[in-house]
Chains A and B, each alone.
Chain A
């Protein structure tokens, strides 16, 4: 496996309303790696991805993604940068009133000139890439359906196809299976990992369940309060270690409806956690 670095971060800091919400001292990802990020809500998982995507500016430090040094100011370069990084969202974020095919075609927009997209001119190559992407996610029979009529799992498959149509190098998945039921979550994760293997994509995903992270990633990153607390191979992450990390990260008290912290005894671990096999998995 080549050791080409696709993401390099040194002392990067992201601020929002004067507060530091992400601060990464050192972080590198080489091509083809599968990295899972775990941590509580507000721990900076999403912010890290949004920063890599170029949505939120980093205040200081060095960030290099695919050879592009941040901040990227040239709009043309930003467009290329966006094209290189496919992103998959928790709530799929498809255009519900367009067909599956149209949604996948949206992944090509970065390559198509405005005039061509206005008049709906598709090149042979665009058509081919879209067809291939739809084939990868096994939705050939539903490509004329409206996206909103599909089930959650199918919609996430459309989102994966849209990202593939971008011909990306890096795939960012922000809680890709959090709004799906556990059995479906495994299907989507299988698909995600298999397309990343097939296309030699670097995968970075944030996951709620440590169990999924251990199963599907070869490297796990644990975050708390915008900092990386643990970074290592998934094999070295034992159950005790997860417990330690989550204890450390403070999930042993959840905020209940009144906004007060519930006692530890009232807290139940996330479904599927603690070594229990996932239903259907």
Chain B
């Protein structure tokens, strides 16, 4: 009982501390609601004269996502296998896991900023940022999926006289392949979402023009691009959902 009370007090104190520190103010939000509508109001009616910018930048965002996800997966899958603790010795999987955790801890926008300063403006630094980020996230899922694989069918395969590589080919890969593809689909969806805002730091795509038009107070043009982002993310989510539905 005393433990529950002190836990309640501790959580309450934590929440109070957080809300207080973050200047939480319901009144201010209430007064700001008209401003919100005003903001969206300025975006309407959408100015469709920018459809050519929309088309090229949406395609660029898609291309960035596909290239970045592919590049990330290319490294994530082998690294993920090496990071599975039940397949490799500790001096192999621990450093790889640590590396992937380190990569994951860097915010994507910071990665993008880093690569923009290294290779210049445009979609290319976006590709690199997405790839590095994907290695961290996807590699971890690959490792966890392999670690969670039921070892008994693999042992049964060993019992038929199959060699280790045959066990991987006929036992491990068929068991984990659907999850691997499903994770790739989710990663693609997330990367598509992320790549729409990579433009904020100059790494190309739709986000770059949203930011550009907002800075120029061309609200109606930026509104069109915001709509395009929503549509693109929605389409990506739908595609990933379709892939997963067929696999699992």
Contact = CB atoms under 8 A, between A and B. Distances in A.
B163 A89 contact: no
B175 to A, nearest CB: 6
B153 A95 contact: yes
Given A98-B174, A117-B169, A117-B170, A79 B163 contact: yes
Interface string B76-96: 000000000000000000000
Which label, helix, strand, loop or mixed, suits the secondary structure of the B interface?
A: helix
Interface size class for chain A? Answer: 20 to 34
Which residue of B160, B169, B171, B174 has the most chain A CB atoms within 10 A of its CB atom?
Answer: B160
B118 interface: no
Interface stretch (A38-46, A102-110, A207-215, A255-263): A102-110
B228 to A, nearest CB: 39
Given A117-B166, A117-B169, A95 B174 contact: yes
Contacts, number: 72
A94 B161 contact: no
B119 interface: no
Interface residues of B, number: 20
A109 B175 contact: no
Interface string B149-172: 000110111111111011001110
Contact of A95 (B161, B163, B166, B171): B171
28 contacts: A55-B155, A80-B161, A82-B159, A83-B161, A85-B159, A89-B152, A89-B156, A94-B153, A94-B156, A95-B153, A95-B157, A95-B171, A95-B174, A96-B175, A97-B174, A97-B177, A98-B174, A102-B170, A106-B162, A108-B160, A109-B160, A109-B161, A109-B163, A109-B170, A111-B161, A114-B163, A114-B165, A117-B166
Interface of B: 152-153, 155-163, 165-166, 169-171, 174-175, 177-178
